[in-house]
Structure 1
Amino acid sequence: MDENEYDVLVVGGGIAGTGIAAHLAPSCRVAVLEMEEQPGLHSTGRSAALFVAGYGNRVVRALTLASRKFFFSPDPRFCEGALVNKRKIMIIGRAEKREAFEQFVAHELPAGNLEWISAEVALELCPVLHLDGLIGAVLDVDAADIEVHALQHGYIRQLKSHGGQLFVNARVEGATFDQAAGRWDVETPLGVFRAPILVNAAGAWADEVAAKAGVKPIGIEPRRRTAALVDVPEGLDSKDWPMVLDADESFYMKPDAGLLLISPADETLSEPEDVQPDELDVAIAADRLQQLTGIEVRRIKSKWAGLRSFVGDRSPVVGFATENPGFFWLAAQGGYGIQTAPALSSLAAKLVLKLPVHDEFEAMKIREEDLSPARLYQPAEQVR
């Protein structure tokens, strides 16, 4: 076998690519092709990741719940420390946004493990909030910060311990399927890599990779989200504050290493690129922080932006392309890629290997069709 010949090639070294590769490595010869100089440089490395059971649509919630055990009781062989740290989430209601808050309470409170708290209790949990206009809050006590670095590097260690390889600076320049040989030939600056199965886990670049392989795109929409770190008011310790989210999802803040991470929760359509923070979005976040708490931002400690990639129904796309042999989609995780990674990467690997997956889908109460790329090519009236 040629040194650049594998059973599976995975394009993309973010959490999706390294996760599926780690699960594949015990069963086959696998390589990850990462276009940057290090894995997880874009969406994965810029995520303010939390484990939130009620985040996302029905499919995302099912994948999140199925990932819970992995996060909260990790195998000690996977990582040395914890993968999560408890962090309450508080969704606040304000008089000027009463309708949005009441809709949230009516929809989420009966369905989730949430509790309603008074404005006074909300203020005890986060003492910088303005009490005037605060009508109450909903509290999620089962959420947690995810240690993204530990999660991804656990996957990379697992990959390499089973003989898998990770190549950086390996941007896909072209890919063709050799019918006679039954394999993909993938051109990169490091040479041509070959495998019968090509997994497209390229995040915001997934449609670009598909185009280079002659595969019909799925309509990936990369959306920019901006965040910044600012100082906590002098004399206050924010370590145990909850993450605070406006009911209409127009702003959130959370403690981060002695500072406050703030974001306008923007979802601005973008090209797949090394996206940079927008100055207006940073200013909007600072203004909303002041409206909510009275904290006046005098300096921005740091700022960044990341891309969250969706398709129309906001569910991940996982499965083989219908018209292209050996081309497998693992894309469109949106803002949920970290918290669903354990379940989604395991499930995706089984689909690649054509192992039975009925029990997994049955346990999550979702269907393979909910994830399959085939759903995106059906006429709207045929999609259930």
Structure 2
Amino acid sequence: MDDFLIIGGGIAGVSAAARLSHLGRVTLLEAEDHLAHHASGRSAALFEPNYGLPPVVALSLASDDHHRRANGGVLSPRGLMIVATQLLRDAFEHEAAVMNLARISPAEARAMVPILRADALEHAAYAEHAWDLDTDKLIQDFQREAKANGAKVLTGARVTAIRRTSAGWEADTATCTHSARIIVNAAGAWVDEVARMAGVAPLGFTPYRRSMARIPAPGGHDIRAWPMIFGAGETWYAKPDAGALIVSPAEEHLMDPHDAWADDMVLAEGLARYEEMVTEPVTRLLASWAGLRTFAPDRVLVIGHDPVEPAFFWLAGQGGYGFQTAPAASRLAADLIGGGAPELDATTVAALSPARFG
């Protein structure tokens, strides 16, 4: 029997496997044929620690040192800009204040991103405190740590049934039955389904689709130094990526858990909003995809023992913050499971606990 059985091989599950491997025997089960297949493999890969509600920001800030220093770090400079027309001034002012961005002139914004339209851009704000995050390296670093401590990481291992036993849990896959004292539910969009399988009350998680398009560098520009750009009200965003530009309509469309794909009409509408602010039209796509961002009812992560079934541990509801919060979220999970004193303050720990849902 293992000590910990982790269900889900995205960044939440893999980082938890690394932390818990120091405390006991770990098996991680991922339904797909490789890790980070769903939301974790479709991330915008940005570390912006001021983004999100206060408990999310606390996790992001507590993850900063790990992102910068562990295993050589995973961050590289990017920067963040918000742009707006006059009609979106209120949304612009709010978001610039929340994310601590400094107002710059439209001319300064166009000097940084020359395709911004002079006749449309009325408001701009910028800050350097946003970084590209090497998501693949972070996954691999945590996986390497887990395996070095004897953890088993199994892919193509979809859980089909879960049973409570006198000693803990049993979970069936197509080829094997796994047993453990504690289940860690890190199943992304499927966390409520895993809970139901285990006879644990679901908490009401909601998956939302977000689509992405990859387009050639606009106008042949060298875009490597461009910041990530948000349209005010998060009506679209764009981010340089390996010589091309990723553009998202930033939609939140309610979905059932599934292997998501981009909706052509939603992409077209989002690209049209992007085109309203730039001089270069989108003439072709290099690729498109979508992922599910799964939120708890209050849009804050859920990290803690189930209040009714304490051998069932929730590590869920990462939404769009999974990678940037993973070091601190997994550390908190290990502290709570191992009985250690959390590094985070008590107010934040309570705000993250599943007990907040009564």
* TM-score, structure 1 as length reference: 0.91
How much does 1:367 deviate?
3.1
Q: Give the Cα–Cα distance (whole angstroms) in 2 for the partners of residues 300 and 53 of structure 1.
A: 30
Report the equivalent of 2:95. 104
Q: Give the Cα–Cα distance (whole angstroms) in 1 for the partners of residues 310 and 56 of structure 2.
A: 27
Report the equivalent of 2:145. 158
How much does 1:289 deviate?
2.1
Residues 122 and 136 in structure 1, CA contact (< 8 A), matched pair in contact too: no
Report the equivalent of 1:322. 307
Q: Give the Cα–Cα distance (whole angstroms) in 2 for the partners of residues 63 and 244 of structure 1.
A: 23
- 1:322 match: secondary structure: coil
Residue identity matched to 1:35: A
With over 3 angstroms needed to count, the CA separation of the structure-2 counterparts of 1:274 and 1:18, relative to structure 1, is same
Give matches, 1:1-384, under 5 Å: 5-76=1-72, 82-105=73-96, 107-108=97-98, 112=100, 114-179=101-166, 182-357=167-342, 360-362=343-345, 366-377=347-358
How much does 1:250 deviate?
0.5
How much does 1:49 deviate?
1.5
Q: Give the Cα–Cα distance (whole angstroms) in 2 for the partners of residues 294 and 175 of structure 1.
A: 55
Deviation by residue 1:98-156 (Cα, 9 ceiling, x = unmatched): 22223334x437xx3x3111110000010000011322311121110100000001010
Q: Give the Cα–Cα distance (whole angstroms) in 1 for the partners of residues 85 and 255 of structure 2.
A: 31
How much does 1:351 deviate?
0.9
How much does 1:63 deviate?
0.6
Residues 96 and 133 in structure 1, CA contact (< 8 A), matched pair in contact too: no
Unaligned runs of 5+ in 1: 77-81, 378-384
Residue identity matched to 1:270: M
Residue identity matched to 1:260: L
How much does 1:190 deviate?
2.3
Residues 88 and 242 in structure 1, CA contact (< 8 A), matched pair in contact too: yes
* TM-score, structure 2 as length reference: 0.97
With over 3 angstroms needed to count, the CA separation of the structure-2 counterparts of 1:366 and 1:124, relative to structure 1, is farther
How much does 1:315 deviate?
0.7
State the identity as a percent. Answer: 41
Q: Give the Cα–Cα distance (whole angstroms) in 1 for the partners of residues 108 and 338 of structure 2.
A: 51
Residues 50 and 339 in structure 1, CA contact (< 8 A), matched pair in contact too: yes
The total of aligned residue pairs comes to: 358
How much does 1:252 deviate?
0.4
Cα root mean square deviation, aligned: 1.3
Residues 189 and 205 in structure 2, CA contact (< 8 A), matched pair in contact too: yes
- 2:308 match: secondary structure: coil
Q: Give the Cα–Cα distance (whole angstroms) in 2 for the partners of residues 103 and 371 of structure 1.
A: 25
Comparing 67-76 with 13-22, greater Cα deviation is found at: 67-76
- 2:220 match: secondary structure: coil
Deviation by residue 1:160-184 (Cα, 9 ceiling, x = unmatched): 00110101111111111112xx210
Deviation by residue 1:240-293 (Cα, 9 ceiling, x = unmatched): 111110111111011111111000100111010001111111101221221110
Residues 22 and 155 in structure 1, CA contact (< 8 A), matched pair in contact too: yes
- 2:323 match: secondary structure: coil
Unaligned runs of 5+ in 2: none
Residue identity matched to 1:306: G
Residues 169 and 189 in structure 1, CA contact (< 8 A), matched pair in contact too: no
Q: Give the Cα–Cα distance (whole angstroms) in 1 for the partners of residues 190 and 224 of structure 2.
A: 36
Q: Give the Cα–Cα distance (whole angstroms) in 2 for the partners of residues 190 and 308 of structure 1.
A: 30
How much does 1:233 deviate?
2.9
How much does 1:297 deviate?
1.4
Report the equivalent of 1:382. none
Residues 48 and 130 in structure 2, CA contact (< 8 A), matched pair in contact too: yes
Structure 1: 4+ residue segments shifted above 6 A:
none
Q: Give the Cα–Cα distance (whole angstroms) in 2 for the partners of residues 165 and 139 of structure 1.
A: 44
- 2:313 match: secondary structure: strand
Deviation by residue 1:44-102 (Cα, 9 ceiling, x = unmatched): 011012110211100000110111111112234xxxxx401110100112112122223
